Amino acid sequence: MTAEAVAFVGVAVVLLGSSLAVVLTPNLFHSILYLAVALVATGVVFLLLDAPFLFGVQLLLYAGGVVTIVVFAIMLTERLVGRTIRQASRYLINGALLSVAVFAGVAGFLVQAPLAGARPGVSGDLTLAVGRALVGAFAVPLELLGVLLVIALLGALYFARSEP
């Protein structure tokens, strides 16, 4: 096994373990901490795929930002209000069956697909290429995503307005 494969197995174990812990821990706060671990591990997967820019963005937006906001939401609901919210994972068996089915489906596709060769090597500054692509070929999708986010923001504003 190459060093890359060993690293991937290590990251995959951490990622799967922490993802399972997110849904199985009864303590909501611990669940968020495992989520942070899972998101950082996802970032490391990007790093293994020679995409350091995505690694940075993953850390900045998800591990840093989203976790902060989720934790913030818990703070407003749990200890400060005095009501403890436990996470109870009901329908465990159904959920497990569903995820096994999804895994089987994805694995089936992968087995049938022709075996890809070695990953093509990286040439040039990838960060520069990502930046050029975002304002070049992918400018329209990027703008559309921006519009989508603005709509989401307006929706949040609508729900958060004070009732007369």
Binding residues for another protein, per CB under 8 A?
A: 29-30, 33, 36, 40, 52-53, 55-60, 63-65, 67-69, 71-72, 75, 79-80, 125, 127
Of the candidates 44, 42, 40, the one whose C-alpha atom is nearest the C-alpha of residue 63 is 40
Min dist CB 106 to another protein, Å, is 29
CB 43: neighbour CB atoms within 10 A?
A: 23
Select 18 or 55, whichever has its Cβ closest to another protein.
55
Select 89 or 127, whichever has its Cβ closest to another protein.
127
Of the candidates 10, 17, 78, 74, the one whose C-alpha atom is nearest the C-alpha of residue 44 is 10
Give the total residue count for the chain. Answer: 164
Q: Which two tokens stand for residue 113?
A: 């697909």
Select 23 or 129, whichever has its Cβ closest to another protein.
129
Min dist CB 126 to another protein, Å, is 8
Min dist CB 16 to another protein, Å, is 20
Q: With 0-12 CB in 10 A as exposed, 13-18 as middle and 19+ as buried, what is 56? A: middle
